[in-house]
């Protein structure tokens, strides 16, 4: 990078907030996605919208790629600076500007950690429901840009259902506002939705207006073990058919059960084909009634055993085995690909079978767990990225797996985003017309293609 | 200098220093979970501050992107060794140990920093070290001004490597082990224990050592303080000077082996951890030494752990202490030897004492042993959060089980104009026994 660009960036953010040493650049060459790494040429940490605007204006004039980054916890290489350029770290914009309990709205800067917003909202008895696995580390900006989901998607939806408005700096450096605190708002194109989930390819979010909801008063957790996968699938359909929308409805397949049991010793039978974890929440009386109904559905569908947590300690124990799923798989090998292919709820058993078959055929180890209630699965491949022969098999398995999801009417990504990881299957899912429409939007808003270039819709 | 030669040779040599941890580093999935708990990251906000970043820098050396450079050294130095990353890692990556391995590679590739080199050289010679710290105790009052609170002092004039306003513990005119005979006898002893005093208690916080002895005497336990004991080696070891650390370990093992005692006790999380965990670990490639270290490890206890789990200390003759007390869990107590229940049981046994838990009692106080000497500003910021949590409890007293935590929190309370006092758990128990005699 030319030294006058470095000087100009230094003038904008100050000496303390620009990093250029090889070691510092290396520290921002990766995110939580295995297999993607490239050195940026400068890392800047702006303090406010004005600085962000100046950085983008400079980058746009000089056609320098800009990679916006929060905590760098995404799983789709969304923040990897694959073409060098500038990594812009947003974590200094970390203020909760306003908690408006009358309008059930929070106004935040994008660097606020998701968990911190919930801690602040809890004082008013409110929550911001999207809870990706990284609540304690991920920023709101990253969560909105990836349109992250979480465990409560079935009942509460995902991030996009909670974004009401935002301030965005466009590629040109101009500052744009869209949406607001209005529950109903049909004035113009829904720009808020467009930028939500745009993975930093259309603009840089500098302020967010988020919807809050009352925290549920009571919760009840239960776990059911199944010897037959179809019984588990039928239980999921049965619960929905009984007009119950649990907050959480999680499934683990046999491969995952085996490693999770090995890791956490909670007493799961190793021959179980599936485990369901269910949590209903809301008004205490309704919660009791719903738990009872769920129990009946589970029994009617041949659950081998059912456990209802009676104390906080029992709740912890039930969830310990679900929490153990990823770490347990993680520990098996050095490299872990946690994918998030998603299918319509009714297709979950079919997809799980397809993944098991793909794993066997390609001699690849895959454990699948995920959010059965919303069809969002996490087929998790464990391998060693340094073993080229094995990685060739992994690539074939991934290819077959994503195509299987799409063929079942599903989607490549439920909540992790496309980034680079799943880019090669975008056309398979969407077809050329949709892809071209997406690229046209990208080119209209970022004509010099400086914002997270090459990601989500690929080269334009 | 050697950096300028750029040379592949330098990279190759540096790579070799980290080669054996290649797999261990690869196990880090870069999920970034450590960002949620790292006190350093909380203050600095950059990747190089957190475990994920440090592990990745080591991989950068391994894949030849840069050599073990000054910046690499600096990044490895920015860690308080609080172990929060390892304790919370979903993949069980021992990041704290790997960072120490990184420091070890720095020492091999670039040598120790000049200040540490001199301090460790002094430490290596037990007699010189003892002499220097005794002198500090004798002449300390000339250079340090005592504050109107117990066991606190500030420098009278600028000291090299020391922030001018900083409150430290005064060095004692007479070290603890010189205040007593080697064996402190009691009538018909229930058991005999060896007391590993550690440096902070021997030279500075002698009041803690006195309380340990008083409490053990009150429980009919004979105490021996082996005169040849030396620094546990943790400060040297965590700085990456593993060979010197091993010398200390060997010396202490040989010293304590000579005494026929039922148990070994220490009143500091880090010192206990050295005997209990680090020594056997250090000699993992030397079966004979490992076996000797393990033998001592099995009978080593932190004082509160010993009182509660082994001795079942007397509670029938405790007198009242009317104070509100909160507890700070030192990193090496909670995540090192995993002792948090026992100090609380000791405190809760004291009549009149009102125990209030603070927010995040197990969060690092920012001292990090010698870290606070090199990076007082960062150390202070981390500590200000701790002090705010203490203020939230409105406690009169903060109990803890580590000398450097006590010193750093005392400094924090003074800098933030708070009146609470910091004491070792054992001092409160000692006071309660004294009150019981009245």
Chain A: give the shortest CA distance to residue B60, in Å.
7
Q: How confident is the model at residue B5 (pLDDT cuts 50, 70, 90)?
A: low
Put simply, whether B65 touches A (Cβ < 8 Å) is yes
Contact B32 A91 (CB under 8 A): no
For A416, what's the count of Cα atoms within 13 Å in the CB-facing half-sphere?
29
Q: Which of A141, A75, A86 is nearest to A114 (CA)?
A: A141
Place of tokens 């030494």: B289
pLDDT at residue B144 tops 80? no
The conformational region for residue B326 under phi > 0 = left, psi -120 to 50 = alpha, else beta, is: beta
Q: Which of A229, A264, A261, A235 is nearest to A249 (CA)?
A: A235
Q: Is B418 exposed, middle or buried (0-12, 13-18, 19+ CB in 10 A)?
A: middle
CB atoms within 10 A of CB A456: 23
* Closest A-chain CA to B23: A334
CATH architecture of A333-421: 2-Layer Sandwich (3.30)
| Whole-angstrom distance, CA of residue B333 vs CA of residue B424 | 13
Distance of CA B382 to the CA centre of its chain: 16
Percent of chain B topping pLDDT 70? 94
Contact A386 B26 (CB under 8 A): yes
Place of tokens 């546990």: B232
Strand partners, A86: A42, A66
Chain B: give the shortest CA distance to residue A250, in Å.
19
Residue A107: what are its φ and ψ, rounded to 5°?
Answer: -110, 120
User: Considering only CB atoms, which chain A residues are within 8 Å of B36?
Assistant: 115, 136-137
CA angle B69, B75, B76 (to 5 degrees): 90
Q: Which residues have C-beta within 8 Å of that of residue A416, sequence separation ≥ 6?
A: A74, A75, A76, A146, A148, A338, A339, A340
Instruction: Give the DSSP letter string of B295-335.
Output: HHHHTEEEHHHIIIIII----TTPPP---EEEE---HIIII
Q: Does domain A217-327 have CATH number 3.30.70.3450?
A: yes
Contact A23 B91 (CB under 8 A): no
Q: Which CATH number fits domain A3-89: 3.30.499.10, 3.30.200.20, 3.40.50.300, 3.30.43.10?
A: 3.30.43.10
Residues of chain B with CATH 3.40.50.10700: 318-437
| Whole-angstrom distance, CA of residue A268 vs CA of residue A449 | 51
Segment-wise mean pLDDT, segments of 10 residues, chain A, 460 residues: 95 98 97 95 98 98 98 96 98 98 98 97 96 93 96 94 98 98 96 98 98 96 94 93 94 92 85 94 95 96 93 85 84 90 93 95 95 93 94 97 97 95 96 97 98 96
User: Considering only CB atoms, which chain A residues are within 8 Å of B71?
Assistant: 21-24
CATH code reported for the domain at A96-214:
3.30.465.10
| Whole-angstrom distance, CA of residue B30 vs CA of residue B25 | 10
Domain segments of chain A as ranges: 3-89, 96-214, 217-327, 333-421
Q: Which residues have C-beta within 8 Å of that of residue B130, sequence separation ≥ 6?
A: B175
CB-CB contact of A261 with A270 (8 Å)? yes
Q: Which of A108, A159, A92 is nearest to A416 (CA)?
A: A159
- A3-89 and A333-421 share one fold: no
The DSSP bridge pattern shows strands B354-355 and B397-400 to be unpaired
Instruction: Give the DSSP letter string of B111-153.
Output: ---HHHHHHHHHHHSHHHHHHHHHHHHHHHHHHEEEPSSTT-E
Q: What is the pLDDT of residue B143?
A: 67
The conformational region for residue B417 under phi > 0 = left, psi -120 to 50 = alpha, else beta, is: left
pLDDT in tens, B160-210: 556 778 887 778 889 999 999 999 999 999 999 999 999 999 999 999 999
CA angle B155, B157, B161 (to 5 degrees): 70
Q: How confident is the model at residue B13 (pLDDT cuts 50, 70, 90)?
A: confident
| Whole-angstrom distance, CA of residue A136 vs CA of residue B32 | 10
Residues of chain B with CATH 1.20.1050.140: 176-310
- Name which of A19, A21, A27 to mutate to probe chain B: the one with the most chain B Cβ atoms within 10 A of its Cβ: A27
For B317, what's the count of Cα atoms within 13 Å in the CB-facing half-sphere?
10
CATH topology of domain B176-310: Glutathione S-transferase Yfyf (Class Pi); Chain A, domain 2 (1.20.1050)
pLDDT at residue B145 tops 80? no
Helix (H), strand (E) at residue A63: none
Q: Which CATH number fits domain B318-437: 3.40.50.10700, 3.50.30.30, 3.40.50.720, 3.40.50.300?
A: 3.40.50.10700
Chain A: give the shortest CA distance to residue B95, in Å.
15
Residues of chain B with CATH 1.10.1060: 8-111
User: Considering only CB atoms, which chain A residues are within 8 Å of B47?
Assistant: 24, 27-28, 72
Could you give the strand order of the β-sheet that contains A376-383, starting from the edge strand earlier in sequence? A305-308, A218-226, A274-282, A248-253, A365-371, A376-383, A335-338
Q: What is the pLDDT of residue A328?
A: 86
Q: Does domain B8-111 have CATH number 3.30.870?
A: no
pLDDT in tens, B339-397: 999 999 999 999 999 999 999 999 999 998 778 888 999 999 999 999 999 999 999 99
């Amino acid at each position: 990078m030319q030294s006058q660009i470095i000087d100009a960036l230094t003038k904008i953010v100050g000496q303390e907030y620009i990093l250029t040493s090889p070691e510092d650049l290396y520290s921002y060459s990766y995110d939580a996605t295995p297999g993607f790494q490239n050195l940026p040429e400068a890392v800047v940490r702006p303090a406010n919208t004005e600085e962000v605007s100046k950085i983008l204006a400079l980058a746009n004039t000089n056609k320098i790629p800009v990679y916006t980054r929060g905590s760098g916890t995404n799983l789709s290489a969304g923040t990897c600076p694959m073409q060098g350029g500038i990594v812009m770290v947003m974590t200094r914009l970390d203020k909760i500007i306003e908690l408006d309990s009358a309008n059930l709205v929070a106004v935040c800067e994008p660097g606020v950690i998701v968990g911190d917003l919930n801690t602040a909202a809890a004082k008013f008895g409110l929550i911001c429901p999207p809870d990706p696995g990284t609540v304690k580390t991920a920023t709101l900006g990253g969560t909105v840009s990836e349109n992250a989901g979480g465990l409560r998607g079935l009942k509460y939806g995902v991030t996009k259902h909670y974004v009401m408005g935002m301030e965005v700096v466009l590629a040109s450096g101009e500052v744009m506002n869209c949406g607001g605190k209005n529950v109903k708002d049909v004035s113009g194109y829904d720009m808020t939705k467009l930028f939500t989930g745009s993975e930093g390819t259309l603009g840089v979010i500098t302020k967010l207006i988020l919807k809050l909801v009352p925290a549920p008063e009571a919760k009840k957790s239960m776990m059911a073990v199944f010897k037959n996968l179809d019984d588990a699938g039928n239980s999921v359909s049965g619960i929905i058919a009984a007009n119950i929308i649990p907050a959480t409805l999680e499934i683990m397949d046999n491969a995952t059960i085996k490693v999770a049991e090995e890791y956490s010793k909670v007493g799961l039978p190793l021959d179980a084909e599936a485990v369901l974890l269910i949590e209903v929440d809301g008004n205490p009386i309704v919660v009791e009634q719903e738990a009872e109904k769920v129990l009946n559905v589970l029994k009617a569908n041949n659950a081998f055993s059912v456990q209802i947590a009676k104390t906080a300690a029992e709740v912890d124990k039930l969830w310990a085995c679900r929490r153990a799923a990823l770490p347990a798989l993680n520990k098996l090998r050095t490299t872990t690909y946690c994918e998030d292919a998603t299918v319509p709820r009714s297709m979950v058993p079919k997809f799980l079978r397809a993944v098991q078959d793909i794993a066997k055929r390609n001699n690849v180890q895959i454990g699948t767990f995920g959010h059965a209630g919303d069809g969002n699965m996490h087929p998790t491949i464990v391998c060693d990225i340094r073993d080229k022969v094995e990685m060739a098999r992994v690539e074939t398995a991934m290819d077959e797996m994503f195509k299987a999801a799409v063929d079942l009417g599903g989607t490549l990504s439920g909540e992790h985003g496309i980034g680079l990881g799943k880019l090669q299957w975008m056309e398979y899912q969407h077809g050329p017309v949709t892809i071209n429409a997406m690229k046209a939007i990208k080119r209209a808003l970022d004509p010099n293609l400086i914002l997270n270039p090459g990601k989500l819709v690929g080269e334009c | 200098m050697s950096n300028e030669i750029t040379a592949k040779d330098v990279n190759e040599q540096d790579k070799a220093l980290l080669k054996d941890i290649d797999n261990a580093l690869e196990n880090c999935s870069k999920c970034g979970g450590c960002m949620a708990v790292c006190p350093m990251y909380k203050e600095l906000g950059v990747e190089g501050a957190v475990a994920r970043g440090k592990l990745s820098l080591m991989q950068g050396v391994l894949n030849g992107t840069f050599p073990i450079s000054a910046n690499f050294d600096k990044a490895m130095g920015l860690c308080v060794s609080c172990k929060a990353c390892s304790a919370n890692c979903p993949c069980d990556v021992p990041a704290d140990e790997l960072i120490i391995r990184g420091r070890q590679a720095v020492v091999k590739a670039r040598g120790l920093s000049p200040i540490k080199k001199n301090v460790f050289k002094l430490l290596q010679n037990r007699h010189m070290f003892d002499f220097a710290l005794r002198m500090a105790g004798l002449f300390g009052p000339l250079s340090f001004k005592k504050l109107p609170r117990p066991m606190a002092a500030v420098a009278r004039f600028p000291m090299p490597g020391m922030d001018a306003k900083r409150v430290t513990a005064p060095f004692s005119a007479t070290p603890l082990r010189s205040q007593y005979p080697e064996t402190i006898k009691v009538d018909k002893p229930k058991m005999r224990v060896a007391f590993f005093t550690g440096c902070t208690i021997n030279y500075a916080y002698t009041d803690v050592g006195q309380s340990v002895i008083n409490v053990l005497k009150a429980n009919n336990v004979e105490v021996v303080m082996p005169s040849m004991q030396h620094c546990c080696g943790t400060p040297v070891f965590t700085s990456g000077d593993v060979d010197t650390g091993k010398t200390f370990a060997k010396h202490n093992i040989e010293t304590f082996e000579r005494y026929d005692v039922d148990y070994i006790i220490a009143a500091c999380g880090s010192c206990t951890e050295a005997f209990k965990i680090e020594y056997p670990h250090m000699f993992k490639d030397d079966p004979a030494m490992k076996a000797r270290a393990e033998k001592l490890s099995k009978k080593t206890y932190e004082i509160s752990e010993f009182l509660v789990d082994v001795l079942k200390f007397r509670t029938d003759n405790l007198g009242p202490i009317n104070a509100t007390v909160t507890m700070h869990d030192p990193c090496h107590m909670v995540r090192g030897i995993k002792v948090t229940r026992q100090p609380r049981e000791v405190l809760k046994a004291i009549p009149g004492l009102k125990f209030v838990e603070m927010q995040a009692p197990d969060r690092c106080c920012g001292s990090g042993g010698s870290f606070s000497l090199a990076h007082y500003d960062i150390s202070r910021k981390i500590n200000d959060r701790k002090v705010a949590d203490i203020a939230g409890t409105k406690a009169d007293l903060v109990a803890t089980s580590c000398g450097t935590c006590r010193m750093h929190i005392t400094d924090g309370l003074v800098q933030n104009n708070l009146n609470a006092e910091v004491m070792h758990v054992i001092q409160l128990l000692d006071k309660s026994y004294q009150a019981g005699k009245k």
